[in-house]
Structure 1
Amino acid sequence: METFTEWRTWERARADLAARSLGPDDLVVLDRAVDAALRWHGDQRRPTGAPYAEHLFEALEVMVRGAGVTDLDTLVAVLLHDVVEDTDATVSDVEAEFGPDAAELVDWVTKPPAGGQGRQAKRVAKTAYLRRLREAPPDAIRVKLADRVSNVQTLDRMPPDFQRRYYLETVTYVMPLIELLGDDTGGWFSGWYTSWRRRFGHLG
């Protein structure tokens, strides 16, 4: 199972993107997206304690180095995919800085607030969100799949009860999204998740 942990910093990611023939204008836009993501996420950390930016760069690496996607709006959305859900930023803020197409992708992958208090309400809201993704445009599905690759590629570092719950959620709701792509990226994601499922199949 291939893992995506080489792009730990924007400098490293940017150099690789430049080598893959992204033009200077596109790189300037991505510079701004990284600045915005770092500004909005601030000092947030991943559950492992690592800086949150590492997750964003991993998801970007999955999209580019893995799936081979270099569409600018999609890459901007990968970098900003959690800002509306996890920070004070709004979809309107994203649209004002990066345009309606990137903002729409971020909106699709943003989990809405739970309608009530407690774990059950959150679970119901998340399930509804994951089911709704089947109606999302292909680029939004790619963003979600890249995001989840970053989150599950080191699933064994998480607490055991979380591992099993997240594994089942991924198999039940996220992996079926791949069949909606029907192109080369769908083939790549299918291959990656198949190898991942073999690696963590004991959790099922």
Structure 2
Amino acid sequence: MATAPETRPRATRTPPTDSGRPPGRCRLATTTAPLLPRTVPVRRDTHHALCGTSARLNGGTVEVFTHWRTWDEARAALVGTEIDLEAVGRAAEAAERWHGDQRRPTGAPYLEHLLEALEVLVSGPRVTDTAVLSAALLHDVVEDTSATLADVEAEFGPVVTELVDWVTKPPAGGAGRQARRAAKAAYLRRLRDAPRDAVLVKLADRVSNVQTLDRMPPDFQRRYYAETVTYIVPLAEAEPWFADWYAEWRRSFTHLK
């Protein structure tokens, strides 16, 4: 698919400081205990409504984004921001409708993953662009539900649809594990040519998936760590906030090298 026209509105974010981090970065609540199970609410920062939680993992400290389990919780935290809550709320409703009762490997409702990706974008690089935030909520509907790109375009237009298309993994060309892994590798390599807004969506998607990688089986941890370092970390290099986050994440999981 052709890259987006240069005239298309880009994601809005706070200009970085000389250090590459947005000014006025919130102070994080820190936990030194292992990450809490998803059934237990994480500690909320009391200084800023849009702030991750810092968790200590394997000797490192990683900012995690697991505050919102429903759109109502997300909406309440986003009131007063520049975000178009009505438009983004429509994407959240559609994502919940299409994903239905799907669950993550941890057993948590799938919507939590989508809300984590949203939280990453608004709390980290401070993205406010409606298309990017909507695509973050819808990024798996074509890959994992009966929804099609035509369905997405009918409800959200061509800009959101293009972003969803870029981050949708195509079906494997054959049967078996090797075919699936080859198809995924080709898809991840293709992201090097993706427009910036699609890359932002993918980076946020992967933050959601790897921020609690230690909860997954050891073999999966090693494979997913290698995949992330090979394909995703290079995409983050052009985005200061994501570059910092993935660098800290790698320090926390160096035992998986």
Matched residues in 2 for 1:144 and 1:159: separation?
23
Higher helix share: 1
Give the drift of 1:97.
0.2
Which of 141, 147, 153 is the matching residue for 1:83?
141
SS in 2 for 1:19: coil
Aligned counterpart, 2:172: 114
SS in 2 for 1:21: coil
Which of 224, 244, 248 is the matching residue for 1:166?
224
Aligned counterpart, 1:93: 151
Aligned counterpart, 1:194: 247
Bigger-Rg structure (1/2): 2
Aligned counterpart, 1:203: 256
SS in 1 for 2:67: coil
Give the drift of 1:67.
1.4
Alignment of 1:73 onto 2:134:
no
Q: Aligned AA for 1:194? A: A
Q: Describe the superposition over 1:21-71 as per-residue Cα deviations: whole angstroms up to 9, x where unpaired.
A: 32xxx2111121111101110110000000000000000000101111010
Matched residues in 1 for 2:248 and 2:236: separation?
14
Aligned identity (percent) is 71
Which of 57, 63, 70 is the matching residue for 1:9?
70
Higher strand share: 2
TM superposition score normalised by structure 2: 0.75
Give the drift of 1:109.
0.1
CA RMSD of aligned residues (A): 0.8
Aligned counterpart, 1:144: 202
Is the CA contact 2:225–2:256 (under 8 Å) kept in the aligned structure 1?
yes
Matched residues in 2 for 1:137 and 1:173: separation?
16
Aligned counterpart, 2:17: none
Give the drift of 1:11.
1.1
Matched residues in 1 for 2:244 and 2:89: separation?
31
TM superposition score normalised by structure 1: 0.94
Aligned residues: 196
SS in 1 for 2:224: helix
Matched residues in 2 for 1:193 and 1:178: separation?
8
Give the drift of 1:117.
0.1
Q: Aligned AA for 2:156? A: F
Matched residues in 2 for 1:192 and 1:7: separation?
20
Give the drift of 1:19.
2.8
